[in-house]
Structures are given as structure tokens and as C-alpha cells.
Amino acid sequence: MASWYANVLVIASVTAPSADLLAALSERAERGPIGVTLLMPATEIGLAGREAAKPRLEEAVERWRAAGITAEGVVGDSDPMGAVHDAWDPSRFDEVIVSTLPGEASRWTRNDLPHRVAAYTGVPVTHVVAMDMRPAPRHGPPPQTERAPMGPLSVLTWGGRGGRG
């Protein structure tokens, strides 16, 4: 067992209970002992937004503890980078994990949060994409197409049914 204990700041919101994030934390803990602080941005500006985030934060921290990870949590500013500015203490944290939704579903990824956090903190930042939290498709199945012999390709046929007149 390593004698060095790493303090990891985890920035997550809707992905905090993700199985993929928990797996990443467990994998990190296998490399050496860690203590984890979950920083969860508030759901909206103000005290009400901070209060609304607390149940999700507590649920995630309890899940991590049940998996054997030493964890605590704090709700931060509703702006994720603002939350990092408020919580960051270089004498306390050794590395950061940013957990996001996959692809275009993630506002944090679109805003380049993992790289911005790395530039601000100067410590290693791991980006965990919570694939198990993929949003459901926004639309139902595609509408049934016209029942033409060539299906949707019938618009590409020439000549029409009656031939030329």
C-alpha cells in the first residue's frame, strides 16, 4: 500500500450517481489511497438552487462510501467554473476528475470545462464520460413512410404511373 494519500476533487452534477464515475473512482483507488470531495454545482442561482442539489449530492456520496471510497461533498456555485474557483485549494487537492454526460448532451463538454479546470488548477484532470447516463432520444421512432414499392426511394423514380402521354 502506498504511503501517499491523494485528495481528489470530483466535479459532477447529474452524473454524480453514474456507475461509470464510480468505476473510475474505484479504479483510481486501486492505484493508491484517495480521499474524494464531490463538488456539485447548484441547480440554479441562489440558496434554493444549493438546497435543491443537496439530496443528489448526499445520494452520490453515500453510494461512493458504500463502495469503499472515502468521500465528502459540497454544493458550489451554479456556474461550474465559479464553483471550482470557490472550492479550489492547491494545498488540499492533488488531482481533479470532471464527470460529464456524453457528446452534445453535455453543456460542460461543449464549454470545454475539463480543459478550463486543468488550466486553472494546474493539476492532472481526468475527464470521465458517464456513458450509462446517456439521455433518451428526444424523438420517438421515425414516422412510417408511404407504402410505395420502393419505400422512401420512390421519389427517385422517373416516368410516373401512366407513362408518357
Over residues 110-127, the pLDDT tens digits come to 899 999 999 999 999 999
45 within domain boundaries: yes
Q: How many domains does the chain have?
A: 1
What is the pLDDT, as a whole number, of residue 149?
53
What is the pLDDT, as a whole number, of residue 23?
96
What is the pLDDT, as a whole number, of residue 133?
76
User: Looking at residue 106, which CATH number applies to its domain?
Assistant: 3.40.50.620
10 within domain boundaries: yes
pLDDT mean across residues, the chain: 86
Q: β-strands 34-41, 70-76: how paired?
A: parallel
**What pLDDT, in 10s, does the model give residues 1-29?**
445 889 999 999 999 999 999 999 999 99
For residue 55, the enclosing domain spans 6-135
70 within domain boundaries: yes
pTM (two decimals): 0.79
Average pLDDT over residues 84-91: 96
For residue 138, pLDDT beyond 80: no
50 within domain boundaries: yes
113 within domain boundaries: yes
- Is 135 or 111 the better-scoring residue by pLDDT? 111
Extract the C-alpha cell encoding 137.
Answer: 432520444
- Is 132 or 3 the better-scoring residue by pLDDT? 132
**What pLDDT, in 10s, does the model give residues 44-83?**
998 999 999 999 999 999 999 999 999 999 999 999 999 9
164 within domain boundaries: no
Write the DSSP assignment of the chain as a string of letters: --S--EEEEEE-STTTT-HHHHHHHHHHHHTS-EEEEEEEE-SSSSHHHHHHHHHHHHHHHHHHHHTT-EEEEEEE-SSHHHHHHHH--TTT-SEEEEEE-SGGG-HHHHTTHHHHHHHHH-S-EEEEE-GGGPPPPSS-SPPPPP--TTGGGGGG--S-SS---
What is the pLDDT, as a whole number, of residue 52?
93
6 contacts: CB under 8 Å, gap ≥ 6 = 32, 33, 34, 35, 94, 95
95 within domain boundaries: yes
Contact by Cβ (8 Å): 40, 16: yes
150 within domain boundaries: no
